[in-house]
Amino acid sequence: MTPPPDHPRIPKAKIGILLINLGTPNAPEPGAVRLYLREFLSDPRVVEIPQLVWQPILHGLVLTTRPKKSAHAYRQIWTEQGSPLAAITARQAKALAGAFGPDVIVDHAMRYGKPAIAERIDALKAAGCGRVLLAPLYPQYCAATTATALDEAFRHLRHMRWLPAVRTLPPYHDDPVYIEALRESAEASLAALDFAPQAVIASFHGMPQRTLELGDPYHCHCRKTARLLSEALGRELRVAFQSRFGRAKWLEPATDRMLAALPGDGVTEVAILAPGFAADCLETLEELAIRGRETFLAAGGRHFAYLPCLNDGDPGMEMLRTILGRELEGWRAAQ
């Protein structure tokens, strides 16, 4: 009797963690920015206008005018490592390598641009990951950020024959370890200033007012983060929303309008932070730190400071180790 053929032994499965952030152009040039914006602004989660109406506007107006302006903005913050968002997210993943044991692989991806979510899921699967934690780095849940990142991941997963087990990182807008990381980082930045701010602004990325009316919890999550951080710091934070786009009504108050109005109210020394961003990017380094400063000083302000995001600093990395490790409970024990 012929013995059955030997079959290769299935190796012990590893665990993958995929950090996901928004994305960035590959270069601070109009062509690269156009490709990035076309992908970003074609996402129906981002622009909730019927595509038959939106696509002619996107290709006929937005993509013919906005790339040059955005490329100029990107050039002001570009680094030797490329886009700050891409470089910082890569450093975050590198800093977490080995933090959860030898059988846990940490990688990163971008929802728009490179490295792509599908590409990195395939890489984790090829590395032997039978379980994958998808971790969108958005503390406050929003359909235009968290949901579309997960949409893209599951869109790719549905075409795979041998699926890994999957978990997703919940929003952590009110998690005590997140609030503590923000407090520690903000206090260190404030202590390093050579002036005492009369006001501290928490600026969150804006969303159309319609998203709140449709049931998106983003506005409530931002307000709760600001309230908890205000309590932790022992000082009032003024909440504002930045990055308006188009003619629709957006969440208010608007950051740029607040900065322009404060000197007229006697507030001439201001610090601003962006708690909703896991890493510094165009919206923080150019929109807030550069244009925000110009707006405030032009209106009569005297001192302005932008306080960095958590990035890959110690408070932020300790926070990520804690919340990611919590989501791996049960998985690591089963290895």
CATH number at residue 46: 3.40.50.1400
83-106 mean pLDDT = 97
Residues 27 and 137 grouped into a single domain: yes
Q: Say if residues 251 and 209 touch (Cβ distance below 8 Å).
A: yes
Burial of 120 per CB tally in 10 Å (0-12, 13-18, 19+): buried
Q: What is the per-residue pLDDT for 6?
A: 55
Q: Judge whether 71 lies within some domain.
A: yes
Residue 2: pLDDT band with limits 50, 70, 90? low
Q: What is the per-residue pLDDT for 247?
A: 81
Q: What is the per-residue pLDDT for 332?
A: 74
pTM for this predicted structure: 0.94
pLDDT tens profile 187-211: 999 999 999 999 999 999 999 999 9
Residues 12-32, buried b or exposed e (16+ Cβ, 10 A)? ebbbbbbbbbbbbbebbebeb
Residues 168 and 180 grouped into a single domain: no
Q: At residue 259, does pLDDT exceed 90?
A: yes
13-19 mean pLDDT = 96
Residues 110 and 152 grouped into a single domain: yes
Residues 161 and 208 grouped into a single domain: no
Residues 147 and 32 grouped into a single domain: yes
Q: Judge whether 6 lies within some domain.
A: no
Cα 73 off chain centre by = 18
Q: What is the per-residue pLDDT for 246?
A: 80
Residues 86 and 184 grouped into a single domain: no
Residues 38 and 160 grouped into a single domain: yes
Q: Judge whether 29 lies within some domain.
A: yes
Q: Say if residues 208 and 254 touch (Cβ distance below 8 Å).
A: no
57-75 mean pLDDT = 96
92-96 mean pLDDT = 98
Q: What is the per-residue pLDDT for 9?
A: 54
Residues 186 and 321 grouped into a single domain: no
Beta strands 14-23 and 165-168 are: unpaired
What would the DSSP string read from start to end of 30-57?
A: HHHHHHHHHHHHT-TTTS-S-HHHHHHH
Q: At residue 226, does pLDDT exceed 80?
A: yes
Q: What is the per-residue pLDDT for 199?
A: 98
Q: What is the per-residue pLDDT for 307?
A: 98
Residue 245: pLDDT band with limits 50, 70, 90? confident
Q: What is the per-residue pLDDT for 10?
A: 56
Q: Judge whether 2 lies within some domain.
A: no
Q: What is the per-residue pLDDT for 333?
A: 54
Q: Judge whether 137 lies within some domain.
A: yes
The fraction of the chain above a pLDDT of 70, given in percent, is 96
The fraction of the chain above a pLDDT of 90, given in percent, is 94
pLDDT tens profile 316-335: 999 999 999 999 999 975 55
Q: Judge whether 280 lies within some domain.
A: yes
Q: At residue 7, does pLDDT exceed 70?
A: no
Q: Judge whether 1 lies within some domain.
A: no
**Could you list the residue range(s) of the whole structural domain that residue 63 is in?**
14-172+315-327
Residues 188 and 237 grouped into a single domain: yes
Q: At residue 65, does pLDDT exceed 80?
A: yes
Q: Say if residues 67 and 34 touch (Cβ distance below 8 Å).
A: yes
Q: What is the per-residue pLDDT for 120?
A: 98
212-241 mean pLDDT = 98
Q: Judge whether 97 lies within some domain.
A: yes
Domain count, the chain: 2
Residues 215 and 320 grouped into a single domain: no
- For residue 297, give both structure tokens: 């000083």
Residue 5: pLDDT band with limits 50, 70, 90? low
Which has more confidence, 140 or 332? 140
Q: What is the per-residue pLDDT for 334?
A: 55
